[in-house]
Amino acid sequence: MSVDQLNQFLNSPQSFLFFAWVLFWKGWALWRASRNEQKVWFGFILIINTIGLLEIVYLLFFQKEGRLWPILTRRGRNKVFVKKNKVVKSKK
């Protein structure tokens, strides 16, 4: 890639979309890895740039679940909240 092609790419609207895509996925994956105390994943995601692919794979398959977001399910008429391996039924 020549310098002219690089300048043309950096001045195009596609470059903004590309950087926004990478920043979104990398930021979300780094945040989740740090909150889940997964230091190895944090290091890989921070150092390796894969255009968001490694970040998406981590978020879909390797993050620890149940640490930040409670899972809301419906069983009959009772709502069941699962948070940190504890089940709490609402009184509605």
Write the pLDDT tens digit of every residue in 19-76. Answer: 999 999 999 999 999 998 899 999 999 998 888 888 888 888 777 764 434 444 444 4
Q: Which tokens is 2 given?
A: 């020549």
| pLDDT for residue 90 | 57
Question: Per the confidence metrics, is the pTM higher than 0.85?
Answer: no
Domain that holds residue 33: 3-89
pLDDT band at 84 (very low <50, low <70, confident <90, very high): low
Q: Which has the higher per-residue pLDDT, 66 or 8? A: 8
The size of the chain, in residues, is 92
Contact 63, 54 (CB under 8 A): no
Radius of gyration of the chain measured on its C-alpha atoms: 19
Contact 70, 82 (CB under 8 A): yes
| pLDDT for residue 89 | 58
Three-state DSSP state, 18: helix
Number of domains in the chain: 1
In 10 A of CB 41, how many CB atoms?
21
| pLDDT for residue 75 | 45
- The enclosing H or E element of 82 equals strand 78-83
